[in-house]
Structure 1
């Protein structure tokens, strides 16, 4: 071929080279401040994982609480398609999706690793998705939260009588259980917890892990820090994606996003505990009194929880299916742990 023809052929071929595909950028409305310790970090880790596994073809752009919509309106915004994706503590939606109360915080429930195993390998994710289908959402269980403290209290809790009349920031099944024990509970967005507790609008509050509680200065609003976290031995944070947006991904991309989500779950399972003891020690040095709830109080709360769970299971079929499945999974895990006990 003549040199002139070779040049012409190359030039012609170049005109048919497709331009590089633009990245799909997905806005994510978070229910937490963008830079919040652990809770915000988990979403950043998910976005990083997705970016890497898709070779930057899918990019999740994070917007902190209130940047796009108010935190407690994220579900509605994503469901309607006003925002393509959201990030949450699933328990925020218990009033609309009852099963999220179960996976958000089951009082006296499983440890994080058992809940995560049930979610990913025990059928939990598929059961929960049934409830999300009604809201036009794809459910991705991407993060696990370690057991939390029982909360901050402006007064001591020495007996079940001290729960009566207690005004506490707490939600989900634990909130219902406390109501049965005589308390008055309410859900307050994270950004308002300190002010509400500090000004005496409430008598007690649970929010999150010690390092996070410390970062929003709850130690300056209440003196007594109670354990154990009976209300939330484990919890799920999720990414939810509008179904139209989800269906717009290729099957490969959907699998990649799910893999990134599961990888983030592992990241949270291996990054939550040691820094909490550091935070507890710092809080004690500042004068916080770390206490344990009396067994008599825990007994009352356990009984109230059993009643609440049975009531919820009687009202919602997906909640009952998930609860029965999780209980069976927990029993098998317990048996395995007993067989492996060394002492």
Structure 2
């Protein structure tokens, strides 16, 4: 009986130890991504995608993965997200690569490209061309300790709110305008002074006359910022941002500590978010445009003179940036090669737009 008792005691001790070890492993496996975001989570298709991701991760991972998002400026400033994630101050962050073009000129090509690819083509290059390998290479070669994951994409934005008609390039000269990314370089060649104000500061700047005009995002997002209350003309198409990609950055050390399954959940949830974001954005723009018209906003489509002028200046910007930065040239050459191949498909596969 003593032997049996001893065996039972030993078994109980081993079981308790194994249970404790398992509990410790499970606790160690749990990951909380503390994620400052560059766009308010109330902004549809701009900030809502990362909120959706934060809601899906615990469900998909049986609570081994969680994400806590911090609204813009609450933990880290929008323009500080890359450095904060790389240094480990936070283990993740959500922004758009265009914010880093001052540090890495090619970053803008992974955000939005003037006269560039629409969402489907952009995603094709990222996921099935060389886009993702170049995207990660950019961060690696510049010494940033981050894993980059595309986590949302939106379709075309409006290209500007103005208080006067713009019919010729001369009408733009001398204006002060909020403008984003590579498009800002084009506008400066058109004689416009540009600044990249955060969304929450644009209305006040317009109201006070600090800037004369602004672009920001899609109609449903611009409405929430109140542009329609003080600006009369809203111009389309968004030649400067036919599609815009948003990224989840994860500190590489934190990424390396996650299991392969957890990494896959994050990557695939972000890929699902790409679909969700573009569907959400596409679903609501026409209704908001109609309401804006009812409230006196005049929706204008750029005439050929203006579109040709924008494109001409864009090609000048490309020439300058490819000559100035080898990696910009590398990414631009790869994207251009992909797009030339894609043109054969696009020219033959899709119906032309009709006026019916």
**TM-score tier after normalising by the smaller chain length:** over 0.9
SS of 1:39's partner is: coil
| Deviation sequence 1:277-336 (CA, Å, 0-9, x none) | 011011111111111122111111101001101211122222222211111222222211
TM-fit CA distance, 1:338: 2.3
Contact 1:42/1:143 (8 A) holds in 2: yes
Match of 2:295 in 1: 286
Contact 2:41/2:71 (8 A) holds in 1: yes
Match of 1:266 in 2: 275
Match of 1:164 in 2: 173
Match of 2:16 in 1: 15
| Deviation sequence 1:119-144 (CA, Å, 0-9, x none) | 11111011011111122211111111
Match of 2:74 in 1: 67
Q: Distance in 2 between matches of 1:342 and 1:217?
A: 35
| Deviation sequence 1:164-209 (CA, Å, 0-9, x none) | 1111100221101111111111110111011111221111111111
Q: Distance in 2 between matches of 1:152 and 1:308?
A: 23
Q: Distance in 2 between matches of 1:174 and 1:52?
A: 39
| Residue of 193, 199, 212 corresponding to 1:184 | 193
| Residue of 311, 322, 328 corresponding to 1:319 | 328
Contact 2:149/2:270 (8 A) holds in 1: yes
| Residue of 227, 231, 240 corresponding to 2:236 | 227
Closer, same or farther in 2 for the Cα pair 1:49/1:320, shift >3 Å? Answer: farther
Contact 1:198/1:220 (8 A) holds in 2: no
SS of 1:236's partner is: strand
Q: Unaligned stretches of 5+ in structure 1?
A: none
Match of 1:149 in 2: 158
Q: Distance in 1 between matches of 2:280 and 2:54?
A: 17
Match of 2:210 in 1: 201
Contact 1:128/1:318 (8 A) holds in 2: no
Contact 1:130/1:318 (8 A) holds in 2: no
| Deviation sequence 1:27-66 (CA, Å, 0-9, x none) | 0010111322221111022223332332221211111101
Match of 2:124 in 1: 117
1:106 equivalent to 2:113? Answer yes
Q: How many residues align?
A: 342
- TM-score, with length taken from structure 1: 0.94
RMSD value over aligned CA atoms? 2.0
1:333 equivalent to 2:353? Answer no
Match of 1:253 in 2: 262
| Residue of 44, 47, 58 corresponding to 2:54 | 47
Q: Distance in 2 between matches of 1:51 and 1:120?
A: 25
Contact 1:99/1:128 (8 A) holds in 2: no
Deviation >4 Å, runs of 4+:
4-11
Q: Distance in 1 between matches of 2:57 and 2:16?
A: 32
SS of 2:280's partner is: coil
| Residue of 79, 90, 100 corresponding to 2:86 | 79
1:213 equivalent to 2:222? Answer yes
Contact 2:44/2:281 (8 A) holds in 1: no
Q: Unaligned stretches of 5+ in structure 2?
A: none
Closer, same or farther in 2 for the Cα pair 1:184/1:342, shift >3 Å? Answer: closer
